[in-house]
Each structure stands twice: as structure tokens, then as C-alpha cells.
């Protein structure tokens, strides 16, 4: 029978708090952790440092989780880095290293579920993962939407999970009303856009959000002892990549056979994830310019691999069940993404080289102009 091993890296008071207020309560809804009682005993591995373990160990919600699965703390004080993404990667890797030491794990019926402490999962997420584990799927990819943590957690107190569409409508409405500034600047439909890091492209209208993304979250992956051993050896002395990086998601045979046996979830009714983030303490540099396909392609040249292009072709529509779908914005999103795919397929190298040369020229002219103005100012004064 299927056994799920959940890995969640957490450290510091802020991450512990959002885990116990958002992530774990969302997983205790009827069609999530409670369903695990019907399967082999699953495990929640909380990978942390000493401070994080002390803050989280005796929390009531942790004890509630123990009713449905084992909860283990994996403590390592050497994984924390000034970069939170590097810390998270090292913690995942440390958590994976403990799996190969467990004799009860076998490749065929064990699956690794990658959680983040600032994640909120809709009711039915675990149910969907269990269904996928019984099929030919070896991994499940999910696209998450970033929201403002405090506003979302305040609103989620009125969430009543269940089979009805009302609970999903509630989540979608709450998500739309609490979108994080990082999400809002990726709205293509607004006319201006953050071309500097277009990992997600959104079209947002009243009661609807259409999403295409290059960076999806690998929520579940089948366990492979060989793959974990290879990963541990490769990054024994260096920082491992983030889990949505193609280097992390390699198969055990070393080939990049992403497309085979991969479930790309595009149905919010099955899985809906939101990412809970604080508002920035100071104004972030989310500079918006006119939406530019060449700029998006330039970013893709350095940050997107073949599998991520494949993920980008998938469309996720978050819409209230009671509202009529906005066909106009749906068509606009599809035309725009088709243009990006067509440009990338037909002439990416030409455009990229041209843009890079053009940008270098502009940068050189700006630099020399600044130097000239500085010299003139010094001469006049």
C-alpha cells in the first residue's frame, strides 16, 4: 500500500508560526491527513534547526497530526544560510538523506511530498496525491499563487472544507482579494508587467485568474534510492538547487525524462495551493514596464529549460463556479502564450542575441553619458 513521506523545512519564529497557523491546519481537513489512516503509516518529517524544533515540538496542531501519521523532527544546525532558498534546499537534501537509512522504504510504493512552511493546501489535496500514487504517475506538479499571509489567514477562519463547490469558491475569492504585490505585478492584463522575473503570467479580472507558469512546484515524486544517493554525492560540498530546478528533479537513471509519468495539475477542484508571504518591510523593486515578449524570452533564455516550457503550455483557471467564464480574457491569454511559444520556437537565438547586443549598447551609452555629465559638473563647480 502507498506510503507518503512529507518533507517540510522550517526554521525561525516566522516560518514556524505560518506552518502551525496555515500549512498544518489545512492538511487536517477531512480529505487530507485523515485519509492516511486507510494506508500504510505515513510520515511527516519536519526538518529544522534546534530553535525551530524547540518552537514547534509541543504545539497542539503537531499532536493532532500524530493521530494520522508519524511526526519526526530531523534537526541539523548546519543547514541554515543567509539565503532562505539555499537553506530550504539544504534542508530538503538533509531530509532526503534520512530516507535512504530507513529499511522500510521501497522504491515501488513510497512517495515523497515536498511541502513548504508557508503553503496552504485545499481540502482534497492528499486525496488527489493518493489517487496519483496508484496510477502510473511518478510526479505531480502544481502551480501556486502567492497571497498576503496575514490577510489570508484572517479570512481563512471562515473556511468550511467539504465536497461542495462553496468551499472552493471561498478559497478562490479569498485568494483574489489577498493577492500579494509580487503576484499583482505579473498581471499581463494590466498592460504593465514585471519583465525582470516573469516566472508566472497572470490574467486577472473580476472573479477570475488565469495562470501560466514556468516555475511549478513538484508536490510529489516517487521515491528512488539511487536518485537520492546521486543527489547527495553531487551536492555534498555545494548548495543544491531549489526543488523546482531541473537539476533537482532528475530521474534515478540520470536522464531528464520529465514528461513521462508526470501529472500536471490544472484543476483547482483537485488541488489548489496558495503561498503565504509577508508584505515587504520596504518597497520592493517590482518595476513594471510595458509587457514585452522579447524581454520575457530573454529571461527564459537563462532561467527556463525544456520541461519548464512544457509546464508553461498548461493553463490553470481559477474562477468562481457561480460566475460566467470571461471568454474574452481567456482568449487573450491563449493568444499571448501562443505568441511566446511561437517566437521561442522559430527564432529565439536571433532575438536573444539582438536584444543582448542592443541592451549592451544602451548600457554603454548611458554609462558614458553619466561619466561625461560628471566631468562637466566637476569642471563647472
- The set of residues, in sequence order, having a beta carbon less than 8 Å from that of 305 and lying 6+ positions away, is 246, 256
Most confident of 90-94, 106-110, 252-256, 350-354: 90-94
How many CB atoms within 10 Å of residue 255?
9
- Interval 192-241: pLDDT, tens: 898 889 999 999 998 899 999 999 999 998 887 777 888 888 888 888 88
Going from the C-alpha of 138 to that of each of 24, 244, 305, the distances in angstroms are 25, 15, 20
CA distance 198 to 257: 25
Model confidence at 325: pLDDT above 50: yes
- Interval 58-104: pLDDT, tens: 899 999 999 999 999 999 888 777 788 888 888 998 898 888 777 55
Q: Which of 128, 120, 123 lies closest to 145 in space, CA to CA?
A: 120
Cell 554525492 sits at which residue? 233
Cα-based angle 10, 275, 179 (whole degrees, multiple of 5): 145
Measure CA 99 to chain center. 23
Measure CA 164 to chain center. 26
Can you give the C-alpha Rg of the chain in angstroms? 22
pLDDT of residue 27: 97
How many CB atoms within 10 Å of residue 127?
16
What DSSP string runs through 297-319?
Answer: HHHHHHH--HHHHHHHT--EEEE
What are the φ/ψ torsions at residue 171 (nearest 5 degrees)?
A: -65, -45
Cα-based angle 10, 14, 19 (whole degrees, multiple of 5): 55
Burial of 345 (0-12, 13-18, 19+ CB in 10 A): exposed
- Interval 11-61: pLDDT, tens: 999 999 999 999 999 999 999 999 998 877 899 999 999 998 999 888 999
Helix, strand, coil percentages for the chain (3-state, nearest 5): 45, 20, 35
What DSSP string runs through 224-261?
Answer: -HHHHHHHHHHTSSSPPPPTTSTTTT--TTS----STT
CA distance 168 to 160: 10
Q: Domain extents for the chain?
A: 3-179+216-279, 347-380
Model confidence at 323: pLDDT above 80: no
- Report whether 185 contacts 194 (CB < 8 A): yes
What are the φ/ψ torsions at residue 350 (nearest 5 degrees)?
A: -60, -50
List of E strands, the chain: 3-9, 43-48, 70-75, 110-114, 119-121, 139-142, 145-148, 192-193, 200-205, 208-213, 217-222, 262-264, 273-277, 289-290, 316-319
The residue that leads in pLDDT, 342 or 362, is: 342
Q: Which of 132, 198, 207 lies closest to 174 in space, CA to CA?
A: 207
Cell 481537513 sits at which residue? 29
What DSSP string runs through 42-82?
Answer: -EEEEEE-HHHHHHHTT-HHHHHHTTTSEEEEEE-TT---S
CA distance 325 to 235: 47
Q: Provide the CATH topology of domain 3-179+216-279.
A: Spore Coat Polysaccharide Biosynthesis Protein SpsA; Chain A (3.90.550)
- Interval 258-308: pLDDT, tens: 677 889 999 999 999 999 999 887 666 567 788 888 889 888 888 888 889
Model confidence at 348: pLDDT above 80: no
Amino acid at each position: 500500500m502507498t506510503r507518503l513521506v512529507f518533507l517540510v523545512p522550517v526554521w525561525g519564529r516566522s516560518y514556524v508560526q505560518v506552518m502551525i497557523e496555515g500549512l498544518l491546519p489545512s492538511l487536517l481537513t477531512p480529505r487530507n491527513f485523515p485519509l492516511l489512516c486507510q494506508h500504510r503509516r505515513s510520515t511527516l518529517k519536519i526538518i529544522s534547526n534546534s530553535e525551530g524544533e524547540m518552537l514547534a515540538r509541543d504545539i497542539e496542531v503537531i499532536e493532532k497530526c500524530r493521530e494520522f501519521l508519524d511526526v519526526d523532527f530531523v534537526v541539523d544546525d548546519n543547514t541554515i544560510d543567509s539565503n532562505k532558498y539555499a537553506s530550504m534546499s539544504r534542508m530538503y537534501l538533509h531530509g532526503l538523506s534520512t530516507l535512504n537509512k530507513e529499511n522500510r522504504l521501497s522504491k515501488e510504493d513510497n512517495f515523497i511530498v515536498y511541502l513548504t512552511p508557508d503553503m496552504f493546501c485545499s481540502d482534497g489535496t492528499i486525496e488527489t496525491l493518493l489517487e496519483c500514487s496508484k496510477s502510473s504517475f511518478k510526479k505531480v506538479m502544481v502551480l501556486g499563487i502567492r497571497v498576503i499571509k496575514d490577510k489570508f489567514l484572517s479570512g481563512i477562519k471562515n473556511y468550511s472544507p467539504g465536497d461542495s463547490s462553496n468551499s472552493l469558491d471561498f478559497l478562490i475569492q479569498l485568494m483574489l482579494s489577498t493577492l500579494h504585490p509580487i503576484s499583482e505585478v505579473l498581471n499581463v492584463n494590466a498592460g504593465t508587467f514585471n519583465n525582470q522575473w516573469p516566472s508566472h503570467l497572470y490574467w486577472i479580472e473580476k472573479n477570475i485568474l488565469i495562470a501560466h507558469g514556468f516555475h511549478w512546484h513538484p508536490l510529489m515524486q516517487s521515491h528512488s534510492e539511487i536518485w537520492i544517493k546521486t543527489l547527495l554525492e553531487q551536492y555534498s560540498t555545494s548548495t543544491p538547487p531549489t526543488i523546482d530546478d531541473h537539476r533537482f528533479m532528475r530521474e534515478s537513471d540520470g536522464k531528464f525524462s520529465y514528461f513521462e509519468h508526470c501529472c500536471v495539475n490544472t484543476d483547482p477542484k483537485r488541488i489548489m495551493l496558495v503561498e503565504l508571504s509577508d508584505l515587504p518591510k520596504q518597497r520592493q523593486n517590482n518595476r513594471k514596464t510595458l509587457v514585452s515578449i522579447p524581454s520575457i524570452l530573454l529571461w527564459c533564455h537563462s532561467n527556463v529549460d525544456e520541461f519548464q516550457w512544457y509546464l508553461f503550455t498548461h493553463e490553470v483557471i481559477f474562477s468562481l463556479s457561480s460566475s460566467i467564464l470571461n471568454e474574452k480574457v481567456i482568449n487573450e491569454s491563449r493568444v499571448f502564450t501562443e505568441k511566446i511559444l511561437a517566437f521561442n520556437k522559430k527564432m529565439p537565438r536571433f532575438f536573444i542575441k539582438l536584444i543582448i547586443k542592443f541592451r549592451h549598447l544602451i548600457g554603454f551609452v548611458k554609462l558614458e553619458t553619466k561619466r561625461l555629465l560628471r566631468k562637466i559638473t566637476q569642471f563647472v563647480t
